[in-house]
Amino acid sequence: MPVKIGRRVIAYGKLSLILADRGYYISNYHPSHEMQYGEMAETLPLKEWLVLPFNHDWDDLSWNREDLEDLVRVWAATRGQARYKPYERLQDCCHSIKAMLRFKARQA
Q: Which of 67, 66, 69, 61 lies closest to 86, judged by CA?
A: 69
Query: How far, in Å, CA of 87 to CA of 72, rounded?
Result: 10
In a domain, 61, yes or no: yes
Phi, psi of 4 (to 5 degrees): -160, 140
Give the rounded distance of the alpha carbon of 55 from its chain centre.
20
Query: How far, in Å, CA of 102 to CA of 57, rounded?
Result: 9
Looking at the fold, whether 31 and 60 belong to one and the same domain comes out as no
Q: What is the pLDDT of residues 65-74, one digit of tens each?
A: 666 677 888 8
Looking at the fold, whether 60 and 15 belong to one and the same domain comes out as no
pLDDT score, position 33: 75
- Spell out, as residue ranges, where the chain has pLDDT lower than 50: none
pLDDT score, position 42: 80
pLDDT score, position 65: 63
pLDDT score, position 103: 87
pLDDT score, position 8: 87
Q: Which of 12, 13, 11, 31 lies closest to 21, judged by CA?
A: 31
Looking at the fold, whether 28 and 51 belong to one and the same domain comes out as no
- What is the span of the domain harbouring residue 84? 47-107
- Count of structural domains within the chain: 2
Helix (H) or strand (E) holding 14: strand 14-17
Q: What is the pLDDT of residues 22-33, one digit of tens each?
A: 666 655 677 777
pLDDT score, position 67: 60
pLDDT score, position 31: 74
pLDDT score, position 64: 63
Looking at the fold, whether 79 and 100 belong to one and the same domain comes out as yes
pLDDT score, position 9: 87
Looking at the fold, whether 72 and 33 belong to one and the same domain comes out as no
pLDDT score, position 63: 67
